[in-house]
C-alpha cells in the first residue's frame, strides 16, 4: 500500500515539472518547434530512465517520477497529431511528411541518446 502512495506522489511531482516544461516550450518557442523539442526531450528521458532501470536497478519511484510523470506530462502527442492534421488540412504535404519524419527520427534518436548516456553514467 505504501509503495502505491509513494508512486502516486512521484508521478504527481514528475508530472508537475513535466507540465511546467511543456507550458514553457508551448510559450517559447511555441508551435511545431516547441512540440518537437518537448517530445524529443521526453524520449531522451525515457531512454535514460529505461537504461538506468535495466542496467543499474534504479528504484521504481524514480522510474515512475521521471518516466511516467515528467516525460508523460512533457510529451504532447495530441498536439503533434493536431499539427500534422493542420498540415494535411491546408494541403502542405511536404511539411506534413517532413515534420512526421523529423519527429519520429528525433524520438528514436532521443531514446538511443538517453539510453547511451544512461549506460555510460
Binding annotation: 72, 75
Query: Cα–Cα distances in Å, from 39 out to 22, 35, 110?
Result: 9, 6, 9
Contact 115, 43 (CB under 8 A): no
- Residues in binding site for Na(+): 72, 75
CA distance 24 to 20: 6
CA distance 17 to 99: 26
Amino acid at each position: 500500500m505504501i509503495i502505491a502512495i509513494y508512486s502516486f506522489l512521484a508521478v504527481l511531482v514528475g508530472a508537475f515539472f513535466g507540465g511546467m516544461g511543456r507550458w514553457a516550450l508551448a510559450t517559447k518557442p511555441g508551435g511545431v518547434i516547441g512540440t518537437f523539442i518537448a517530445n524529443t526531450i521526453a524520449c531522451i528521458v525515457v531512454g535514460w530512465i529505461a537504461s538506468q532501470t535495466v542496467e543499474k536497478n534504479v528504484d521504481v519511484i524514480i522510474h515512475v517520477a521521471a518516466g511516467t510523470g515528467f516525460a508523460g506530462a512533457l510529451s504532447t502527442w495530441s498536439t503533434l497529431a493536431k499539427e500534422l492534421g493542420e498540415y494535411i488540412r491546408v494541403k502542405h504535404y511536404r511539411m506534413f511528411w517532413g515534420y512526421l519524419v523529423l519527429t519520429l527520427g528525433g524520438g528514436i534518436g532521443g531514446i538511443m541518446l538517453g539510453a547511451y548516456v544512461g549506460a555510460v553514467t
